């Protein structure tokens, strides 16, 4: 349970981040704050002391306490890394790539995970600001939706803390980023299946992030270039909170229809693996009855009996590139937006989960 002291601290921080108090503007007096929060002046004094220690505020003898909008930069030789997940899928490889480069430059890392939830992202950003990291590598959450944490990114820029986003970025911020061309990846997957003779191709896309939106766009482009319409009902979208069940259930319904798909392109290998389970439950075979394409070329792509055709994700190279670009900005003293973005080109990796279609669908 949050203490009175911590509630006071978090509220004052929110004032600073939201712009209610401008850089070097005096905050309310201890007496005024005690009345406002209905707590003792001792509690206020402790909370203010914490914020001074953390670099948010500074005191001037006889004048009061002020917002330290542009604090003197002290190098901790620490880089923050925030990803949606840490211990599974492709994320350990991305983190290893960043860490290996940072270690060569004498930097340590501070790790945090958002679980792809904006409210968790807010807490992670607050922690990184509190720890006064020298720079930040982060994977943003739900980038196809409005970002609720805009003020925290503006605070990073105001405090001259360089940051770079990986895998995706918030369009309204246009921040520096290291991504892969997901539209091209979706196109390569769709074209591969069309060239194999498939005409009824399902697509499963997570649409609360830009990666899913762009992969879907590429999938559509491959169909249009081939003069082949995407069949109604064949595109299934879902959000982060639905990822465990909706793709499986929706795909199972499609496969029970008379005009079922002969191929499916999945948002990532994780989804593709769950789709292979559904196919086995329906007593169907891959690729004889249906071809499957994943995305990311994760360890999961070769973990199943059927080896997945998939789109290769750079993983370690992405982490290393993000760290390299960030450290250049940190050591030059540049603002985050001075960092140049970098886009990796995807590659199709063909394995045994896709084959030529000889039917009439």
CA 344 from centroid of its chain's CA atoms: 16
pLDDT, mean of residues 329-343: 76
Question: What is the pTM for the complete model shown?
Answer: 0.80
pLDDT band at 181 (very low <50, low <70, confident <90, very high): very high
What pLDDT, in 10s, does the model give residues 251-303? 999 999 999 999 999 999 999 999 999 999 999 999 999 999 999 999 999 98
The pLDDT assigned to 307 comes to 97
* Predicted pLDDT at 68: 76
Q: What is the pLDDT of residues 187-219, one digit of tens each?
A: 999 999 999 999 999 999 999 999 999 999 999
Residue 305 scores a pLDDT above 50: yes
pLDDT in tens, 162-172: 999 999 999 99
Question: For residue 13, what pLDDT is reported?
Answer: 87
Query: Which pLDDT band holds residue 72 (cuts at 50, 70, 90)?
Result: very low
Average pLDDT in the 130-143 region?
Answer: 94
At how many degrees (to 10) do helices 118-131 and 150-158 cross? 20
Q: Would you state the pLDDT for residue 361? A: 46
Task: Render 24-59 in DSSP notation, one character per residue.
Answer: TPBPPPHHHHHHHHTS-HHHHHHHHHHHHHTTSEEE
The Cα–Cα gap between 67 and 10 comes to: 14
What confidence score (pLDDT) does residue 359 get? 59
Identify the three-state secondary structure at position 344.
strand
Whether the predicted pLDDT of 86 surpasses 90:
no
Locate 346 and state its tokens.
């995807």
Q: Residue 336: is its pLDDT beyond 50?
A: no
pLDDT of residue 75: 55
Long-range contacts of 299-304 (CB under 8 A, 24+ apart): 300/89, 300/269, 300/270, 300/272, 300/273, 301/269, 301/272, 301/349, 301/351, 302/351, 303/273, 304/273, 304/276
The pLDDT confidence band at residue 56, using thresholds 50, 70 and 90, is: confident
């Amino acid at each position: 349970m949050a203490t009175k002291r911590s509630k006071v601290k978090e509220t004052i921080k929110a004032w600073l981040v939201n712009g209610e108090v401008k850089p070097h503007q005096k905050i309310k007096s201890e007496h005024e704050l005690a009345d406002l929060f209905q707590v003792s002046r001792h509690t206020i004094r402790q909370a203010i002391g914490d914020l001074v220690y953390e670099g948010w505020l500074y005191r001037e003898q006889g004048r009061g306490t002020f917002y330290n909008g542009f604090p003197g930069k002290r190098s901790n030789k620490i880089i923050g890394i925030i990803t949606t997940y840490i211990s599974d899928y492709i994320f350990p490889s991305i983190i290893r790539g960043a860490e290996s480069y940072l270690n060569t430059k004498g930097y340590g890392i501070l790790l945090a995970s958002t679980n792809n939830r904006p409210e968790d992202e807010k807490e992670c950003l607050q922690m990184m600001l509190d720890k006064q990291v020298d720079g930040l590598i982060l994977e943003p959450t739900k980038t196809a939706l409005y970002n609720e944490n805009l003020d925290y990114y503006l605070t990073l820029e105001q405090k001259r803390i360089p940051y770079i986003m990986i895998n995706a970025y918030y369009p309204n911020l246009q921040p520096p980023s290291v991504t892969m061309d997901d539209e091209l990846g979706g196109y390569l997957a769709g074209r591969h299946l069309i060239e194999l003779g498939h005409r009824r191709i399902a697509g499963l896309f997570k649409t609360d992030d830009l990666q899913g939106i762009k992969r879907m766009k590429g999938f559509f482009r491959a169909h249009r270039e081939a003069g082949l319409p995407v069949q109604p009902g064949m595109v299934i979208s879902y959000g982060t909170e639905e990822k465990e069940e909706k793709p499986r259930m929706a795909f199972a319904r499609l496969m029970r229809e008379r005009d079922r798909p002969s191929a499916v392109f999945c948002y990532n290998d994780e989804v593709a693996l769950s789709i292979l389970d559904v196919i086995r439950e329906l007593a169907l075979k891959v690729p004889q009855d249906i071809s499957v394409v994943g995305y990311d070329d994760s360890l999961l792509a070769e973990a199943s009996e059927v080896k997945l055709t998939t789109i290769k994700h750079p993983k370690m190279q992405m982490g290393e590139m993000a760290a390299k670009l960030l450290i250049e900005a940190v050591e030059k003293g540049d603002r985050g937006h001075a960092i140049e973005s970098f886009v990796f080109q995807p590659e199709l990796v063909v394995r045994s989960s896709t084959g030529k279609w000889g039917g009439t669908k």
